[in-house]
Structure 1
Amino acid sequence: MLIILAVFTPITAALYDSTVRGMNFWSVLVVREAANLVGVVCGIAVLYALTHARGIDSSRIPGVLAMAFITTLASAAARQAAQIALDPNRTRIEPQLRFAEASSSLLIVGVLVAVLLLVAQRERLANTQTILLDEARRALQDDHESLRGRVFDHLHGTVTSELVVARVRLLDIARELPPGVEADGVLKVAAGLQRLHQLEIRRLAHVMVASGLDTSLHEALTQLAASSEGLCDVSVAIDAEFEVFDHASTGDSRAFLRLAIYRIVEECIANAIRHGQAKDIDVAITTRLTGRKRLVDVIVTNSGDLTAANGPEGVGLRVVRARAAAFNGSVDTSTREGRYVVAVHMEVPD
């Protein structure tokens, strides 16, 4: 903008001097162009020096205004000095007109520099906000995954070992008892512990580590649906647009989004089974553009008891809201055609 101002504004002054004052158009234009370019170079050099100066804080408005004032003053002074040096006769323009011209140039350039600096400051603030948001997402996910890792270790180690020991002890007791109702009852309890170990504990351990997520969200949700077999029928549908960036190689920010979606779907499935006794659950993941932002919609519907849906909001739904908020998202709940619907909308990070 400064270069454009320096190149084209002298044409107007040269036309004035040639038509009103009878001066040579090209000589006036050359002098003004050269003087303006000297002023621009000086202004750019001063602005560069000020942006690297320790005494001026360019992140605050007073610092921005000080930089604009110093830059424009230096540019105008250099321009006037160059114009006098290149016009040895000193007859081209009267002193009062020279002062008016310098003042107007100072005002225009000062406003332009201030606007440009404020725009740059706004960009820096936006970048800082993005970085802080990414760090908040990372901290939230790391905290949740760390907790899940500790629970997984406890399930896979202590709980599993104690279940095995309890089952072996029950089998020993059953062998010591005479055949009959008591022995059959003990064997039944031992069989129940075995089913608990093989189905529930292993399923929970599988869910804790988000198996398949290192490949894609689609693969992880497919395995999650398979782990719920016998408890509930879960169907997963992901649109083609989401599949484009649903891969482990699409970057760290997308990895956090995939993990958040996985945990949201997992929480919705667990709530539907635990509180609504749902027998079938449908999961749909789609993407859409809203202005310059791309949103991902996660819609989970289930056929569970709607009485539980009308109760107070539980911990599970609050966890879903917290995960969505990390991506500037929102969560809506409703009932539709006899089914409970959880709709989550989140921004896709760049």
Structure 2
Amino acid sequence: MDDRSTPGTAPDVWPPRLAGLFREVSPTQWAIDGVVGIVFAAVSLLSMRAIGSSSLLVLIPTVILMIAALMLSRLSPPLALAAAWFGALWQMGTQQQPMPANVAIFVVLFATAAYGSRLVYWAGFASAFLGAAVIAGYLVVIPQIWRGFATSLTESATTAALTFIAALFALLLSWTAGALFRSILRGREVRRAQRDAEERASAEEERGRIARDMHDVVAHSLAVVIAQADGARYAAAADPDAATAALATISQTSRAALADVRLLLTQLRHRQSAGPQPTLADLEQLYAQVRAAGVDLRVDMDPAPVGAAPAAVQLAVYRILQEALTNALRHGDGGPVDVGLAWHPERVDLHVGNRIGVEGRPSEPGGHGVIGMRERAQLAGGRLDAGAEGDAWVVRAEIPIRAVAA
């Protein structure tokens, strides 16, 4: 239990001094409470005719207080509890008999346990015991005293005890029902919060995936464009045809990158549209782009994949190769780039190696590209290592292949 209102309430709509007394009630709840209140008031007022031991002037305040307690039970449990106590004390002080309007007390106890703050929650619990004691005293002990204990003391004590137990059972039953309803409300709140947290986590994961895809697409495409632009600049005078081919490659690569970026931005705006993801069939196009940039790319795939690998594995392999080849274009010395793929039944082993000059060697494998590749491998359940091996920079990855249902 806590000091805040129950789930779904908004006490901040009230002035600060009244925020702890009132809860927000929906129009539907207002309508239901209004109808119940009108019916209850009609029954209570009509029942006063059957009570002939007290005048209407004495009965009306009790009935009004009980009606007020019932009407306030959902809106303000503390005020409802106070109204019920005032009505009960007035009723006993004016020596009235129990009446149908007293049913409101059970509703109020339910409301204190279901909707009240921690203080009101326990005040309702204590009121059940105190109310049972007051009922036993008012209905048994005081009349026995007035009659000078017409029955034996033992019989009077037994009657008082039984009355107390019966009243306590009835009052605690209402309070316990409210406590159970409170638990249901809290359970709904927890489930709602859990769903919200899962949706936020899913959104963050999706944004992270899109950010990695954006990085891979843009970095790779720009690396190809830069390599082609440099080659075209050097070949423009000696070989105009080579410069023209380089410009065509730049145009093609830029258009493809623009289409990929637009697709990723569409996914960012509309998360429900996942969009197509690269597969192993797209590797040849990736190799062609790298070779078009003037890189001697050597690909060795042994053994070849048997059947269709899971989509997550295909995406991880493609993105890791894309980033590794992009790094080779950026930092390589122009020499050959070796790519190795081994599709085993339970895993795929991947490595990309190329020579790099001392001036182009990263101080450590901690750039964003390496981090992104490692995250790709980890998301697929595998691992990735990148570092210098002699005069070469090598990326090695191992990604498990989970069984795919036939």
TM-score w.r.t. the length of structure 1 is 0.42
Larger radius of gyration: 2
TM-score after normalising by structure 2: 0.38
